[in-house]
Chain A
Amino acid sequence: EAGVAQSPRYKIIEKRQSVAFWCNPISGHATLYWYQQILGQGPKLLIQFQNNGVVDDSQLPKDRFSAERLKGVDSTLKIQPAKLEDSAVYLCASTQSRGRGVYEQFFGPGTRLTVL
């Protein structure tokens, strides 16, 4: 079974530039998450999708971050414009959950973003 795929693995941009990350979850997984992990911290949830609907985006800085999952499969996270404090690893995860129930989350390798 293929795992969660993410690209690119690394990205370096100047502040105020735009950047986009892509995630393809495990086939059949209805729920997809984007996390931000700053060095030395645990992953922080940015947004949770169930199929193509947003379940929780309460911690997504909506003035600069956006995310979509148009067909309920792969997803894109965008930052526009980037700030220095956005430097972090962006992790995508998925579960087979379709609502209530306890499931492990499967994580991709992450995209390491450096904003200069």
Chain B
Amino acid sequence: SQKIEQNSEALNIQEGKTATLTCNYTNYSPAYLQWYRQDPGRGPVFLLLIRENEKEKRKERLKVTFDTTLKQSLFHITASQPADSATYLCALDKTGGYNKLIFGAGTRLAVHP
């Protein structure tokens, strides 16, 4: 069955460092992958989307890579700030572009001053 894995343990880093979050998937060939941020008590908020034919996407301090051979996406936050502390969810399209997403369980990031 289709499976998405994200680091289940919280990631603790120091302010100013680069945070790297991992999303691995199996039994799957998604057309694209999305990353969302979720704060406690709130719904997820879209951050970035990367398609299967793209290797890398950037937006301000965020960078996403997508390796369809390794079946892995990496999400980087450079120059991290305490305000970046949240849970980050990866989500894969399961329908070849019909906007049906499967979400990972998310990785909680804590950035310490």
Contact = CB atoms under 8 A, between A and B. Distances in A.
Q: A and B: real partners?
A: yes
Interface of A: 4, 31, 40-45, 48, 55-56, 91, 93, 95, 97, 99-110
Contacts of A104: 34, 46, 49
Q: Which size bracket describes the interface of B in this complex?
A: 20 to 34
Given A42-B89, A42-B106, A105 B101 contact: yes
Contacts of A105: 34, 44, 46, 99, 101
Contact of B45 (A31, A45, A56, A107): A107
A10 B80 CA distance: 33
A4 B43 CA distance: 10
A73 to B, nearest CB: 18
A107 B44 contact: yes
A68 to B, nearest CB: 20
A91 B49 contact: no
A96 to B, nearest CB: 10
10 contacts: A42-B4, A42-B89, A43-B44, A43-B103, A55-B98, A100-B97, A102-B31, A102-B99, A105-B46, A109-B41
B55 interface: no
Nearest to B106: A42
